[in-house]
Chain A
Amino acid sequence: MVKAPLPKPIRKLLIIVTITLLLVLLASFWSAGAQKPIVKMATTTSVYDSGLFDIIVPVFERKYNLRVMVIPVGSGQALEIAKRGEADILLVHSRDQEIDFIKEGFGVHRIGLMYNDFIIVGPPDDPAGIRGLERAEEAFRKIAESRSKFLSRADMSGTHFMELSIWRSIGVTPNPGPGSWYIEAKRGMGSLLRLADWIGAYTIVDRATWISYKAQLDKLTVLVECDPPLYNPYSLILVNPKKIPFVNYEGALTLAVFLISRSGQSLIESFKKNDEPLFKPLAWEINLAREMGYLSQAEELNWYLSQGILVETGQRDFPQENFIWEVLNITALSLQVSLTSVAISSAMGIPAGALLGLKRFSRKKTLSRLVEVTIKSSINTLMGLPPVVAGLIVFLLFNRSGPLGFLGLLYTPAAMIVTQVMLITPIIIGVTMYAITEVEEAVRERALSLGATEGQAAWMVIKEARGGIITAIIAGFGAAISEVGGIMIAGGNIRWYTRTLTTAIITEVELGNFEMALLLGVILLGIAFTINLTLTIMQSRSGKSRLRV
C-alpha cells in the first residue's frame, strides 16, 4: 500500500535473503567442526614454515580416517597450550623444557623423530673472525669479546634456548641494554634473518629455516656449522591422557606411529628445498639419538612399533592441495567469520545502542545519571579494545583448562567469531547510540505530537537513525575483516581450518612471500570495497542525517 522510493517488498526480500545467507554460513561451521576426529599437533614455527607437513599431512590423511591440524607456535608456547589441553601431540625442540613437561606428567613417550643442526651465520666481512671455527662456544666467545652485533630471537623458542645454553656454557651473560652489541629482536626466524642481513649481525639459525630463506638474503653467510652440540633434534611427545583426559590419544598415537614408521621417516628424508634436505630421520638411529640425549630411544621405538598394526581406511575426501583452491578457502573463511561476527554483533549491538541512545530509557529513574555515564564511557573505552587482548581473553576462557574449555572451541572458527564479536559489538553499540541521540529529540517529539505512543515514537527514532545504524555496521565490518591480532590467538592460524586473509598475510610475510601477501591484501581490499559499496548504496538510499534545520 505504501509507495516509498525503494519498494518495501524488495527491501523485505533483501533482508530475508541476507539473513538466510548468514544462517547458511553459520550452519556450515558447525558441520565443518563436526568432521572429526581431529588430531591437533602443536609444532614449532621452524618446522611449520619449512612446509614439511604440507607434504606429510595429505599422505597421512589419505591413509587414515583422521584430520590433522597443525598449530604453529614457538616451542615454549607449544608446551604451554598442550598443558591446557589444546594439543594432542607435540613436535618440539627444547630439551630442558621437554624434560620438565614429562616430569610434570603432561607428556609421555618422548622420542627423537628427526634432526638437523644449528649454524652460526653472519656478515661476510666477519668482524669477529669466526669463519671456519669448529666449536660454536669459541665463536660465541669471539663475538662477545669483539662486541660484534648479535641478534637474539628472545622469544622462548627452541632456537632461543639453544642460544642461551651456549652463552651459559661459556659463562657470558649478554646484556641487551640500549646501544649494546646484543640485540633482542623478539621476532620469528624469517624476519630475524632479514634483519641480520640488513644490519650485518651474527645470529644462530636452524638449518631448515636457513635453507628456506637464504635465497632471499643478500650477504648473510654460513660461518660455523657441524659442531655436535649444535645438533637440533626434534622430539615427538604424546600428551598424557591420564593427566588431560580429553585429548585424542588414539589419533595422536596413530600419527606418531606413522611418523616413526619407515614410510614416515622416508618422507622426512626426501623433503628438500633447493635440492638440500632440511631434516634427517632420527627415529631409527638409536646411537645417534642416544648421543643427542634420547637415552631410551630404543625402548620407545619398540613401544611405538608394538602398538599394533594401524588401520588404514583408504582414500577420503580432502581439499585439493591447490593454490587457487586454498586462496578461495581462505577468502571464504574470512567472509564467513567477518560476516557472522557482524551479524551477531549487530543483533546485539543495535538494540543495545538504541536502548542507550533513547532518552526514555536512559532517563528512567532506575538508571541514574552516574550509571548512564559509566555505561557510555565503558562502551567508548571498549571501542578501543586492542584485538590482541580480545584474543587473549578468548584463549584464557576457551582453552581446555579454562572456564569454558568444555566447549572445545579454541582454534575453531567459532572462537574467532567470539573474538570479533567482542571487538565489534562495542563499536556497533557506540555508533548506533550516537546516531540515535542525534535524531532522538526532534523525531520523538514530532511523533508524539502526531499522536504516537512512546513505543511508536521510539520506533520512529530508530527508523530515522537508520543511515547512522548502517554506518555502525560498516564500521563493524571494517574492523572485523581487517582484524588480525585477535583471531590469530583465538583461531591459531591453522591451514585449511582457521586461516583467514589477514592471518595468511602475516604468514606469507614471515615466509618472505611478499607477492603472495600482496595478492591476499588486494583480495582483502576488494572484498571490503564490495561490501562497503553495497552498504553505502543502502545508506545513501536512506538519506543523510535529517537534522539539517
Chain B
Amino acid sequence: MCAHVEMRGVSKEFYGKVALDNVDLSVQYGDFFALVGPNGAGKTTLLRIIDLLEKPSSGEVWLDGERIDYSRRDLHVFRRKIGFVPQRPILFNASVFDNIAYGLKFRGLSSHEIKERIKRTLDLVQLSGFERRNALKLSGGEMQRVSLAQALVTEPRLLLLDEPTSNLDPKSASIIEKVLLDINTHGMVTVIMASHDLQQVKNLAKRIAILNRGRIVKIGSPNEILVSPIDELAEYMRLENVFSGFSRVTEYGTSVIEVSEELKIEAAFIKTGPIRIHVPPESITLLTEKVPTSARNFFEGEIFEISDQGNIIKVRVRVRGGGEFTAKITRKSLEEMKLNIGKRIFISFKASSVKII
C-alpha cells in the first residue's frame, strides 16, 4: 500500500533563500499529521507544495502513488482531490452560500446537489442560517469556519490546514478542532495541519513532524515527540519562557505550577501532576514599580540582558527563585521606561496566557 502523500528530497528556494531543504516525508491514508515549528520554518511552503500551488525547486512529490509532473492536467486533477484552508481566510466578496458553492460550481455539480451539500457543511461548522450573509462582513472565527466549509464541501480525501485556529475565538477554535477530529476519525480524511499550538497538536495529531529552518528535525508520535528533553523541544520550537513543575488545582478553579520553591506560576487551566508550561514573551508586561494589577502573576527581578531586534526589543529578566523570563517590548517603551541592565523591575502576566506544552 502506497502513501497518500510522499515527498522525496523536496527543496524550495525563493530568490536564493532556502525555504525547504531536502525534505523527505510520507503521510499514510487516514493519518492526522501535524507540522510544528517556529515562524519561518517552512510549514506554509510545505503545505503549498502539497496543494500544488508551488512547484519544488528540486525533488519529487507523489500523490496517491503517482508522481506529479506539473502538467496543467495533473495540477487540475489532483487539486480537486485536496482541500486547503489557508492561515488567513481568502473569501470572495459574495454571500456565505456563494463562497462555499464556488468549489462545487467549478466541478459542475447540479444546483440541487450544491444546496444539499452546503446545508450539511454549514451544519457541520455550525454556521446554519449564515447563507445570505456577506462573507467579508463576518468575524474572524466565522470567516475561518467558512474557509473550512469551502474546503470540506468538496469532500476532499486530503485536507491541508495552515494554523487553522491561530488568533481565533475559543468557540470557533473548538468547533474547528471538533470537525477535524470528526472527519479524520469517521470520514477517513487524511489531514495535514501546521500549528504551533502544542496542546492542540497533542489532542488531535497521530503523528508530528518538527520543522526548523526548512528541515524536518524530528518526526514521530505525540508521545515520542513531546517527551523529548524540554530544552531540545524549546530549541526546535524556539520557545522562550518554558518551565516544568508540579501543577496543583486551587480552590478558585485555576492551577498553580510550582517551578521552584520561590517561583510559583498561576495558570487558568485545571491540571494536576507534572507539567510543562510556556509563557509567550509578548504577553509579559514590564513595570518599574509595584502597582495593583488584575494579572495573577507578579514577580520582582533584575534585567540581565537587552537585545535589539529592530522595532521589538527583547528584555531578559532574572526573578527571585532563579527563573529567567523573556519579555518583548517596543523601542518606545524601552526609551520611556529608561531600562538598562541591572535595573530592578517587576514583571506580570495573566494566568490565561500560560500555555501547556
User: Are A451 and B80 closer than 8 Å at their CB atoms?
Assistant: yes
Neighbour of A450 across the interface among B102, B114, B115, B136, CB < 8 A: B102
- Asked whether A450 lies within 8 Å of B150 as measured between CB atoms, the reply is yes
Q: Is the CB of B93 within 8 A of A464?
A: yes
> Is there contact, CB below 8 Å, between B131 and A3?
yes
Question: Does any Cβ of B come within 8 Å of A1's Cβ?
Answer: yes
Within 8 A of A (CB), among B338-352: none
Answer yes or no: A38 CB below 8 A from chain B CBs.
no
A453 touches B76 (CB 8 A): yes
Residues B106 and A453 in contact, CB atoms below 8 Å apart: yes
Which residues of chain A in 146-181 are interfacial with respect to chain B, using CB atoms and an 8 Å cutoff? none
Q: A5-B134, A454-B72, A549-B88 are in contact. Are A448 and B79 (CB under 8 A)?
A: yes
Residues from chain B with Cβ under 8 Å of A450 in the complex: 102-103, 106, 150-151, 154
B298 lies within 8 A of chain A by Cβ? no
User: Which of A1, A442, A451, A464 touches B103 (beta carbons < 8 Å)?
Assistant: A451
Q: Is the CB of A456 within 8 A of B106?
A: yes
- Taking CB atoms and an 8 Å cut-off, the chain A residues in 448-463 that contact chain B are 448-454, 456, 460, 463
A450: nearest chain-B partner, CB-CB: B103
B53 within 8 A of A: yes
List residues of chain A with CB within 8 A of the CB of B102: 447, 450, 452, 460
Alpha-carbon gap, A451 to B114, bound state (A): 15
Contact yes or no, B79 A449, CB < 8 A: yes
* Nearest CB on B from A1, distance (A): 5
Supposing A447-B106, A451-B80 touch, asked if A4 and B90 sit within 8 A by C-beta, the answer is no
> Within 8 Å of chain B (Cβ to Cβ): is A546?
yes
Assess whether A460 is in contact with B93, with CB atoms less than 8 Å apart: no
B131–A546 CB distance below 8 A = no
Complex formed: what's the CA distance from A542 to B92 in Å?
11
| Cα-based distance from A442 to B87 in the complex (angstroms) | 12
Which of B84, B86, B93 has a CB less than 8 Å from the CB of A542?
B93
- Per-residue contact bits, chain B 156-185, to A (CB 8 Å; 1 contact, 0 not): 000000000000000000000000000000
Q: Within the complex, which residue of A4, A451, A543, A549 is in contact with B79, where a contact is CB–CB below 8 Å?
A: A451
- A466: nearest chain-B partner, CB-CB: B93
CB of A443 closer than 8 Å to a CB of B: yes
CB of A115, distance to nearest CB on chain B (Å): 70
Q: CB of A446 within 8 A of chain B?
A: yes
User: B107-138: contact bitstring with A at CB < 8 Å (1 yes, 0 no)?
Assistant: 10001001100000000000000011010100
The reply to whether the CB of A2 lies closer than 8 angstroms to some CB of chain B is yes
Given contacts A2-B98, A450-B150, contact A549 B90 (CB under 8 A): yes
Residue from A2, A463, A549 with most neighbouring chain B CB atoms (10 Å): A2
A1 vs B114: C-alpha distance when bound (angstroms): 10
Q: Which residue of B lies closest to A547 (CB)?
A: B90
In the complex, what's the smallest C-beta–C-beta distance from A455 to chain B, in angstroms? 10
Q: Is B95 an interface residue (CB 8 A)?
A: yes
Q: Which residues of B contact A269 (CB under 8 A)?
A: none
With a CB–CB cut-off of 8 A, which chain A residues contact B98?
Answer: 2, 4
List the A side residues contacting B31 at CB < 8 Å.
none
CB distance from A363 to the nearest CB of B (A): 14
Q: Give complex CA distance A451, B92 in Å.
A: 15
Contacts of A438 in B (CB 8 A): none
Q: Taking A443-B90, A445-B53, A450-B103 as contacts, is the C-beta distance between A543 and B136 under 8 angstroms?
A: yes
Chain B: interface residue count, which band?
Answer: 20 to 34
Given contacts A449-B51, A464-B93, A543-B93, contact A5 B106 (CB under 8 A): no
* Cβ–Cβ contact B72 & A2, under 8 A: no
Q: Are A451's CB and B90's CB within 8 A? A: no
Q: How far is the CA of A28 from the CA of B178 in the complex (A)?
A: 65
Chain B 29-54 near chain A by CB (<8 Å), digits 1 or 0: 00000000000000000000001010
The CB with the most chain A CB atoms within 10 A, among B103, B111, B134, is that of B103
Closest Cβ–Cβ distance, residue A10 to chain B (whole Å): 15
**What chain A residues lie within 8 Å of B136 (beta carbons)?**
543, 546
Which A residues touch B154, using CB under 8 A? Answer: 450-451
In the complex, A452 Cα to B52 Cα: how many Å? 13
Cα distance A456–B95 when bound, in Å? 18
On whether the beta carbons of B90 and A442 are closer than 8 Å, the reply is yes
Q: For residue A454, which residues in chain B have a CB less than 8 angstroms away from its CB?
A: 72
Which residues from chain A contact B51 at a C-beta distance below 8 Å? 449
**Once bound together, how far apart are the Cα atoms of A3 and B134, in whole Å?**
10
Distance (whole angstroms) from the CB of A464 to the closest CB of chain B? 6
Set of chain B residues within 8 Å of A2, measured between Cβ atoms:
95, 97-98, 101
Chain A residues whose C-beta falls within 8 Å of the C-beta of B103 in the assembled complex:
450-451
Among candidates B80, B90, B111, residue contacting A1 with C-beta atoms closer than 8 Å = B111
Complex Cα gap A453–B76 (Å): 7
CB distance B84 to A3 under 8 Å? no
Q: By the criterion CB–CB under 8 Å, are B106 and A449 in contact?
A: no
On chain A, the residues within 8 Å of B80 by CB distance are: 451
User: Is B18 at the interface (CB under 8 A from chain A)?
Assistant: no
- Interface residue? B94 (CB, 8 A): yes
The docked-state distance in angstroms from the alpha carbon of A542 to that of B72 is: 32
Q: Give the CA-CA distance A80 to B75 in the complex, in Å.
A: 65
Cα–Cα, bound, A463→B79 (Å) = 22
A458–B274 Cα gap in the complex (Å)? Answer: 55
| Contact code string A202-237 (vs B, CB < 8 Å = 1, else 0) | 000000000000000000000000000000000000
State whether B92 touches A5 (Cβ < 8 A): no
- A549: chain B residues within 8 A (beta carbon): 88, 90
Q: Considering the chains assembled together, what is the distance between the CA atoms of A123 and B193 in angstroms?
A: 90
Lowest 3 CB-CB distances: which A-B pairs, in order? A450-B103, A451-B80, A446-B90
The 6 listed contacts between A and B (C-beta, < 8 Å) are A5-B134, A443-B90, A451-B103, A542-B93, A543-B136, A549-B88
Given pairs A1-B114, A4-B94, A456-B106, 17 additional interface contacts (CB within 8 A)? A1-B111, A2-B97, A3-B132, A4-B98, A5-B95, A445-B90, A447-B102, A449-B79, A450-B102, A450-B150, A451-B80, A451-B107, A454-B72, A463-B92, A463-B93, A466-B93, A546-B136
User: Which residues of A does B touch, CB under 8 Å?
Assistant: 1-5, 442-443, 445-454, 456, 460, 463-464, 466-467, 542-543, 546, 549
